[in-house]
Structure 1
Amino acid sequence: MRSLRTALLPSELGRDFGKIWPASIISNLGDGAMLAAGPLLVASITREPAAVGAAAFIQQLPWLLFALFSGALVDRLDRRLMIVAADIFRATVLAGLGAAVLLDTSPLWAIYVALFLLGTAETLADNASGALLVSAVPKEHLGKANARLFATGTLVQLLGGPPLGALLFAVGAGVPLVFNAVTFAAAAALIARVAIRPPLPERPGTALWSEVRDGVRWLWAHAGVRTLACSILVMNITFCAAFATWVLFARERLGLTETQFGLLVSVGAVGGLLGMPVYHLLEPRVGSLTLLRAGLVIETTVHLILALTRSPWVAGATMAVFGVHAVVWGIVSTTARQLATPEPLMGRVNSVYLLASVGGAAIGSALGGVLAQNFGLAAPFAGAFVGMVLMTVVAWRPLRHVSVRRTPAADPVAD
């Protein structure tokens, strides 16, 4: 038991990682349950593709509105307390919505309002979590920490969570919401026990917008981080456009039941579990550049296959391969960004990157619903394939600036 614990939580990752990691696992389990239960809840009220896609867009909209200012607040305030407050707020919103759904008193607009509130809290919690990790784990071991977070996040959010969410939804439409509320409350209790208190920088009289501008300028001047931000923007526009109506695609084009849809959502995690060992095996041998370029090819191919297939087995196998790519890409891009960014700018640079990431997802979700409504459920995947072909051509050479080897953080890489 001691050797297993040492293998999972080696001392070089620091004691606080032993609280950050379980908190991530617990909250990811609740989020994973909602990956299946959320779309099923909206689809039980409306079958309009545009309305289903709008639910994802509304939860992501706060990233477009508030992400940059959330990043500046993360650099000003206690990151630990910010995560705790955001998790408690999300637990309260989910518990209230779950009770309303169980009592059959929650119209679609109320679900939209709750999703917007959850997305707003997420802009603070996700940004602060990334910054807190950098404060808690020595920089030379961030790759190990990120690999564990991505691997278990994939396991519980994509493999365990969706079937659980579909099962809980069958018990009662509001039950998965209440379950997610409990997971956020438990995660908040763990993060509250984190001991590290990064010193807060002094910014007497500095305007919040001026601090935001500093983060934007730094990211744009750094060729590697800028390329990653632009890449994730396009990748999430195409991916979320394709998957905005995934629940309808699975039901009507692949012919799956609600329970089978939960399994399809989770099948990507089977591949995702291989992402951590694949990263550790290949990155020292082939380098981050090869892994990122291979990821572009894989993601492009995934969209093409799903645009053409009607077989749930082909779709499932395709998503398993995508799971490996998603975890490897996530580990490489996150570690490279954390190593390159000066810690006083961590929140603001993260906020610009997350704006591109989740903002792209919001744009894609809205676009995907419209495409599916007007051209059919396979059309968003065809459009995503074309978009990824163009992005792969544009990003191929600039990705050479990205590395997970530690470099001087204050020296932007010139084009």
Structure 2
Amino acid sequence: MTAAVHVSGTGERSVAWRGGFGRLWAAAVLSSFGDSLRKAALPLLAASLTDDPLLIASVTACGYLPWLVFGLVGGAVADRVDQRRAMWTVDVARGLLVAGFALAVALGHASIGLLIALAVVLTTLQTLFDNAATALLPALVDRATLGSANARLLTGQQFAGGLLAAPVVPFLMAAGAGLPYAVDAATYLVAAALVASLRVPAPEHPPRPAGATLRSDIAHGLRVLWRDRVLRRLCAATAVGNVGIGALLATLVVLVTGWLDAGSGGYAAAITAYAAGSLVGGALAGWLARTLGRVRGILVAGTAQIAALVAMGTVRDLVALVVGMAVFGAMGMVWNVSTHTLMQERPPAAVLGRVSSAFRTLAVAGAPLGAILGGAVAALWGPNTPMLLAAALFALSVTALTPALKSADSGQTTQTAR
């Protein structure tokens, strides 16, 4: 089943809401709302349990580590199974796990160790879910509308997850410490029902060579990624940038509540600004891709993010942080939309899950390092220094991606599949 498309006044093809894409979008947006409640509440919960920046950062770091262990396996499995079934099964499991965590928090049994365990288990399940979702989208929409579909998905997720969810976190926590997690659990279960209702034909997997194993499938996905110069460079740039993002995310609550003395309200304002900026970025992503090309658009976005990070790390004012987070969010959305679309456009469909997992695993590898590094830097030199560290890393990221422009302009694609 392929969703219908329509042509805008500018000649751009965009995906229609009806059919399978509408339900997938609703599931993604609803789940993002719940996830954002949990992700915004966890650092505040961690900060209430300890004042050690390194321990607080470790919660974020451990949320990335499973990608390094299970990410490649998740992609190989996603290419072998029914992606729709894998997605709703994972969401049911995550809903039950988060419901149990909500009960533990409500009963006063929260601890840093429990927060870390939850982060590890949820991310382990996410390795299969995200790779299956990346492989499923091209089966739901026309190839020419992938950019529009990704923009709508990511923008909708940011709108629900940041603009709607973040401001209500302090109120939910005031009503009950476990309430944000209970809502998150409910959204997982409803999203699972929406995905299960999709009418997508079971994927046709080509015959596998005799003796094919998960290890050989993983190796093949890595080779496909390496042979595509654009994806290879983009993966390296994203990995370096993610070191900076890991440092930023892990210490943002310390920056806001410590350096700026803005409390949980200031933290909610920063997250909301990021989400609002992301909505603008979702609208800009298509225009930049048409005007400059996807890779050049990513380079422009990265350069703007460097400026925002420098401002946030040097100006000790909540307004400067809010504006900087808005710019950072807008340009981050441009980066993400173009990255998702390039990952879905360039590899053959038969290896999309493996290429996606190889890209994500290598790119995410920098985030836990950045989280720990950010916590250490904040403890040694002050809570604003992780922002400046992130700016320097984004400068390296933009430099690493620049050589990919020539390959992108030539329209090079990967043709090897198995």
TM-score bin, normalised by smaller chain: over 0.9
Deviations 1:334-362 (A, max 9, x none): 11121001111011000011112322222
Say if 1:7 and 1:263 are closer, same or farther in 2 by CA, change over 3 A. farther
> What CA distance in whole angstroms lies between the structure 2 residues aligned with 1:131 and 1:390?
30
Structure 2 counterpart of 1:102, one-letter code: A
Aligned residues: 407
Question: Cα offset for 1:129?
Answer: 0.9
Question: Cα offset for 1:58?
Answer: 1.0
Question: Cα offset for 1:408?
Answer: 5.1
CA contact (8 A) 2:302 2:335 kept: no
Structure 2 counterpart of 1:177, one-letter code: Y
CA contact (8 A) 1:36 1:163 kept: no
Q: Is residue 222 of structure 1 aligned with residue 228 of structure 2? A: yes
Q: Could you say what secondary structure the match of 2:51 adopts?
A: coil
Give the alignment of 1:264-283 within 5 angstroms: 264-283=270-289
Partner in structure 2 of residue 290 of structure 1: 296
Which moves more between the two structures, 48-57 or 292-301? 292-301
Q: Could you say what secondary structure the match of 1:273 adopts?
A: helix
> What CA distance in whole angstroms lies between the structure 1 residues aligned with 2:72 and 2:37?
29
CA contact (8 A) 1:76 1:201 kept: no
Q: Is residue 308 of structure 1 aligned with residue 314 of structure 2? A: yes
Which moves more between the two structures, 384-393 or 303-312? 384-393
> What CA distance in whole angstroms lies between the structure 2 residues aligned with 1:315 and 1:106?
30
CA contact (8 A) 2:255 2:384 kept: yes
Question: Cα offset for 1:406?
Answer: 7.8
Please list every run of 5 or more consecutive structure 2 residues that lacks an aligned counterpart in the other structure. none
Which moves more between the two structures, 378-387 or 61-70? 378-387
TM-score (ref. length: structure 1): 0.93
Deviations 1:247-296 (A, max 9, x none): 11100111212133112111112211112221233322232233122112
Q: Could you say what secondary structure the match of 1:255 adopts?
A: coil
Structure 2 counterpart of 1:54, one-letter code: S
Which moves more between the two structures, 362-371 or 387-396? 387-396
> What CA distance in whole angstroms lies between the structure 2 residues aligned with 1:10 and 1:370?
45
Q: Is residue 24 of structure 1 aligned with residue 28 of structure 2? A: yes
Question: Cα offset for 1:407?
Answer: 6.5
Partner in structure 1 of residue 92 of structure 2: 88
Taking only aligned residues, the RMSD between alpha carbons, in angstroms, comes to 2.2
Structure 2 counterpart of 1:205, one-letter code: G
Q: Is residue 184 of structure 1 aligned with residue 183 of structure 2? A: no
Partner in structure 2 of residue 59 of structure 1: 63
Partner in structure 2 of residue 160 of structure 1: 164
Match of 1:410 among 404, 412, 415: 415
Give the alignment of 1:325-364 within 5 angstroms: 325-364=331-370
Partner in structure 1 of residue 404 of structure 2: 398
Please list every run of 5 or more consecutive structure 1 residues that lacks an aligned counterpart in the other structure. none
Partner in structure 2 of residue 376 of structure 1: 382
CA contact (8 A) 2:295 2:404 kept: no
Which moves more between the two structures, 192-201 or 12-21? 12-21
Deviations 1:34-71 (A, max 9, x none): 23211111111111100110001111110011100110
Q: Could you say what secondary structure the match of 2:28 adopts?
A: helix
Q: Is residue 208 of structure 1 aligned with residue 247 of structure 2? A: no
Structure 1 counterpart of 2:228, one-letter code: H
Partner in structure 1 of residue 242 of structure 2: 236
CA contact (8 A) 1:43 1:52 kept: yes
